[in-house]
Amino acid sequence: MDFALIGYGEVGRILAEDLRAADHAVRAYDVKLASDAGEPMRAHARAHGVLLADSHGGAVQGAQIAISAVTASQTMAAAAACAGARLGDSFFLDFNSASPGTKIKAADLVARAGGRFVEGAVMTTVPPYRLKVPLLLGGPHAAALELVLNRIGFAAKVASAKLGVASATKMCRSVVIKGLEAMLIESLVAARRYGVEDELIASLRETFPGLDWERQSAYFFQRAIEHGRRRSEEMREAAVTVREAGLEPWSASGTALRQAWISDLGDQGVFGERSRDGFARSPDWRMEADRILDHVKTSKGV
């Protein structure tokens, strides 16, 4: 089967690896391919036999399934660019973390181009599950695509034939999951400043004994440092989702700001090279908290 990947970041490359391992043809396009930032993508494509296109249209033309896996803010732009390439009756699977309203608008663009839009809500972190990450599908073409995807090896399930249901599920979950990340980082850094981090961890362990709070804290720091930019965009879409429901998105908006702030620190080199190539070298979140505190002191001239 012929696949097109729009977006060749972490998720796109994982999908490419598994699809190529199963001998499916894969073409990919990413806007970063036009810059030096695209060199790791080009190297990956060479290693796995993925053909790189020079445009959205070059990637999707002739593909039976196009998968859009871009950052949340690029959801509409990617759909518009692909729709302009005459999709025919190809499936257009939108993996992006966007609000129900955004998905419905993207679906309209794809439908006008003759494509079959299916929203896809990825319900947990992709890397451990890879192709089998739990995936909710939505829209009138979801049932038809579910059969195709699961034969290939995906773990897809139809949430609803109505567009917006799958993405609402994903976005409302993100308010909790990404919000918990932001809250815990904020709490731990402040606790470290006051010298009460051990007492805090002990109290959390007593209240929620089922969680390994040391390990969970390290993981949350890791994910925010590595993917804060993408998470902040997702949380802006989560805020839109909450607002579309008639509520003021105080929690979601605050989480977006904290995730973006962490990402900004990474861009400034506060976390060293590990902000780019992984936190896994050190399981101690305290090191990252201390770096944040040092930065805050320096920036405020304390």
For residues 104 and 172, state if they share a domain: no
- Look at the block and give the residue holding tokens 């606790």: 191
Give mean pLDDT, residues 89-115: 94
For residues 158 and 180, state if they share a domain: no
Gap between the Cα atoms of 277 and 257, Å rounded: 23
The pLDDT score that the predictor gives to residue 280 is 39
**Cα angle for residues 100, 103, 106 (degrees, 5° grid):** 155
Whether the pTM exceeds 0.75: the reply is yes
Q: Which residue has the higher pLDDT, 27 or 72?
A: 27
For residues 214 and 125, state if they share a domain: no
* 252-282 residue pLDDT tens: 999 999 999 998 998 888 887 644 444 434 5
For residues 185 and 124, state if they share a domain: no
For residue 249, what are the domain limits?
167-299
The pLDDT score that the predictor gives to residue 278 is 44
For residues 15 and 150, state if they share a domain: yes
CATH (domain of 189): 1.10.1040.10
Gap between the Cα atoms of 82 and 65, Å rounded: 12
Closest C-alpha among 67, 70, 61 to residue 89 = 61
For residues 185 and 278, state if they share a domain: yes
CATH (domain of 138): 3.40.50.720
Distance of CA 201 to the CA centre of its chain: 28
For residues 8 and 148, state if they share a domain: yes
Task: Provide CB contacts within 8 A for 117, sequence distance 6+.
Answer: 79, 92, 94, 106, 107, 110, 111, 139, 141, 163
For residues 175 and 93, state if they share a domain: no
For residues 173 and 255, state if they share a domain: yes
**Residue where one domain finishes, among candidates 162, 186, 216:** 162
For residues 189 and 176, state if they share a domain: yes
Percent with pLDDT over 90 in the chain:
80
**Residue where one domain finishes, among candidates 131, 162, 193:** 162
For residues 53 and 152, state if they share a domain: yes
For residues 143 and 35, state if they share a domain: yes
Q: Is 140 exposed, middle or buried (0-12, 13-18, 19+ CB in 10 A)?
A: middle
- For the cut 90, the answer to whether the pLDDT of residue 88 exceeds it is no
How many domains is the chain built from?
A: 2
Gap between the Cα atoms of 87 and 4, Å rounded: 11
**Residue where one domain finishes, among candidates 162, 197, 218:** 162
Gap between the Cα atoms of 278 and 130, Å rounded: 18
Cβ atoms of 175 and 255 closer than 8 Å? yes
